[in-house]
Amino acid sequence: MRAQTTAEIKAIALKHLSEGGPDAVSLRAIGREMGMSGSAIYSYFDTRDALITTLINDIYTSLLDQVESARDAVPPDDIAGRIVAWGQAVRLWSLSNPQGFRLIYGDPVAGYHAPTGGPAPEAAKRACLGLTELAAAAWPRAKATQAFIEHQWSDFSPGLADTVREHFPDLPPAAVALALRMWGRMHGLIALEVYGHLGTQTGDPAKLYHAELLDLLRSLGLQVEHVRHPGTPRASA
Amino acid sequence: MRAQTTAEIKAIALKHLSEGGPDAVSLRAIGREMGMSGSAIYSYFDTRDALITTLINDIYTSLLDQVESARDAVPPDDIAGRIVAWGQAVRLWSLSNPQGFRLIYGDPVAGYHAPTGGPAPEAAKRACLGLTELAAAAWPRAKATQAFIEHQWSDFSPGLADTVREHFPDLPPAAVALALRMWGRMHGLIALEVYGHLGTQTGDPAKLYHAELLDLLRSLGLQVEHVRHPGTPRASA
DNA sequence: TTCTAACTCAGAACGGCGTTCAGACTTTGT
DNA sequence: ACAAAGTCTGAACGCCGTTCTGAGTTAGAA
């Protein structure tokens, strides 16, 4: 069965990725492990970049599955809790799948470039929409402190901007900018931690990241009293 | 002259890096361009990783030269201006040297690992100390809003922690944590922009980043009235 | 000056990689 | 029964880092 062989290729590629990083994903090595010739893979993927692209899609999707499920475990009216749950889920997934994080957000591999003309991947849309939803929910209160943001719809990448505008037709552009800044704020500490720039201790970055999330909530004018300490993974009551 | 040949190797390596990314730095290609055999490079660098390491040091140093000089162009009592100058300088350097940014903060190259046991590179110390100095200057006012941070000296990576403690013996650990969070906040949006996750428009990320810096100042309890609009590169009056 | 040690380079070689191609083999549809 | 499509092998090309052998040169000591 063709689908099964394709799945096996992807599974072995994922294993090599998590064990040795993006550069360890080699068609010859995959074929070797499957008892096939390296060139046989070309019956299933046009090129190595095509395999990498599907890996990125799969991994990005798994990240968003986990993040959205963590967010949805918190009641919709607990905006602060949903934001913290989202942020903690992103970090925990990234620490559990550092190579996946590198593949999505870092240099995927030598000379790889995503299909620029094509539509934005589904997972990227979900990430953008999820963050925008959080920002939109927080916007009524955040407006007071974040009013200095000036932004326009036209500033955004066309594909994602259309998707966001379709889902949130009445949202002020400043709220979308807020979503991107929330993204950046979560991404910064996680990237530094994943790439080993925050030192070697394990407990410390968790405290640091939790403090950052609390400060983010404060920026949005949200209450923080009922948010749990980072000792527990799920960070909202 | 040995030093001159070494410098030429580094120069060509830097050129290949900026043109084709970290994977374009190949010993054979460098030798080809110098009219030498590929193996001749081994008289000057023990291995390719050694060359990459010196490139990282050089590039990191150039980043900190630029950032420190931008910071020092602002009077020491203008703390907000110095923070914004630092942040804007980091972003402008990163956009001018995207491949350098990837080399320092991303996956440098296949299977590369920095000498873990050795002392922290000089440039990393300067980055850490510079940010800590800014955080220390802002701490008297930031204390009021950032008091929820709990942190301990022992949490940090030994090498850098010793250096920081040596320069700022009386600084509360929470201020060091604040410095790391400032770093993460700047790094997040810059990394997303350098790696192309913020869309293709050019004007937008600048506004976004400037808004983030303003919000950072607000988090620190600093005045923001006299900070210029991002249209001008140097962002403090 | 002569001898020796160190340094610098070329070139072949090994194993790894992505990719292409010709050919053999199997499966499927008619 | 025959043709078309798909699947796989193995060789080949050019790229890479790295190692090794062996020339050629340089510099210092006897």
Least confident of A18-22, A159-163, A229-233, B40-44: A229-233
pLDDT at B156: 60
Mean pLDDT in chain A? Answer: 85
pLDDT at B108: 59
Cβ contact A82:A178 at 8 Å: no
In this predicted model, which residue has the larger pLDDT, A177 or A113?
A: A177
Domain borders along chain A are 1-45, 57-219
The yes-or-no verdict on residue A200 having pLDDT over 90 is: no
Cβ contact A94:A101 at 8 Å: yes
For A28, the token pair is 């010859």
pLDDT digits 0-9 by tens, B76-86: 999 999 999 99
**Does A111 lie at the interface with B, CB-CB under 8 angstroms?**
yes
B40 CA to D25 C1', in Å? 15
pLDDT digits 0-9 by tens, B89-134: 999 999 999 999 999 998 755 556 665 545 557 898 899 999 999 9
**Does A16 lie at the interface with B, CB-CB under 8 angstroms?**
no
Calculate the CA dihedral of residues B201, A124, B188, B104 and round it to 10 degrees: -90
Q: Quote the CA–CA distance of A7 and A110 in Å, as a whole number.
A: 24
A49 touches strand C (CB under 7 A): yes
Q: How far is CA A183 from the centre of its chain?
A: 9
In this predicted model, which residue has the larger pLDDT, B110 or A141?
A: A141
In this predicted model, which residue has the larger pLDDT, A61 or A200?
A: A61
Look at the domain A57-219 and name its fold. Answer: Tetracycline Repressor; domain 2 (1.10.357)
pLDDT at A232: 44
pLDDT digits 0-9 by tens, A101-117: 999 998 755 556 665 54
In chain B, residues 40 through 59 whose Cβ sits under 7 angstroms from any atom of nucleic acid strand D: 42, 47-49
pLDDT at A125: 87
- 3-state SS string over chain A? CHHHHHHHHHHHHHHHHHHHCHHHCCHHHHHHHHCCCHHHHHHCCCCHHHHHHHHHHHHHHHHHHHHHHHHHCCCCCCHHHHHHHHHHHHHHHHHHCHHHHHHHHCCCCCCCCCCCCCCCCHHHHHHHHHHHHHHHHHHHHHHHHHCCCCCCHHHCCHHHHHHHHHHCCCCCHHHHHHHHHHHHHHHHHHHHHHCCCCCCCCHHHHHHHHHHHHHHHHHCCCCCCCECCCCCCCCEC
**Does A197 lie at the interface with B, CB-CB under 8 angstroms?**
yes
Q: Quote the CA–CA distance of A77 and A150 in Å, as a whole number.
A: 27
A38 touches strand C (CB under 7 A): yes
The answer to whether A191 contacts B191, with C-beta atoms less than 8 Å apart, is yes
Average pLDDT estimate for B149-160? 62
ipTM at complex level: 0.90
> Please, which pLDDT band fits residue B197 given cuts at 50, 70 and 90?
confident
pLDDT at B237: 33
For B144, other C-beta atoms within 10 Å of its C-beta total: 9
Look at the domain B58-219 and name its fold. Answer: Tetracycline Repressor; domain 2 (1.10.357)
Rg for chain B, CA atoms, rounded: 20
Amino acid in position B192: L
Of A129, A122, A187, A191, nearest in space to A156 by CA = A129
pLDDT at B26: 96
The yes-or-no verdict on residue B231 having pLDDT over 70 is: no
For B185, other C-beta atoms within 10 Å of its C-beta total: 24
pLDDT at B233: 45
pLDDT at B114: 61
Average pLDDT estimate for A214-224? 88
Phi–psi pair at B227, nearest 5 degrees: -90, 130
Cβ contact A131:A89 at 8 Å: no
The yes-or-no verdict on residue A185 having pLDDT over 90 is: yes
Q: Thinking of the domain B1-45, which architecture would CATH place it in?
A: Orthogonal Bundle (1.10)
The yes-or-no verdict on residue A233 having pLDDT over 70 is: no
Phi–psi pair at B170, nearest 5 degrees: -100, 5
> Please, which pLDDT band fits residue B236 given cuts at 50, 70 and 90?
very low
In this predicted model, which residue has the larger pLDDT, A126 or B147?
A: A126
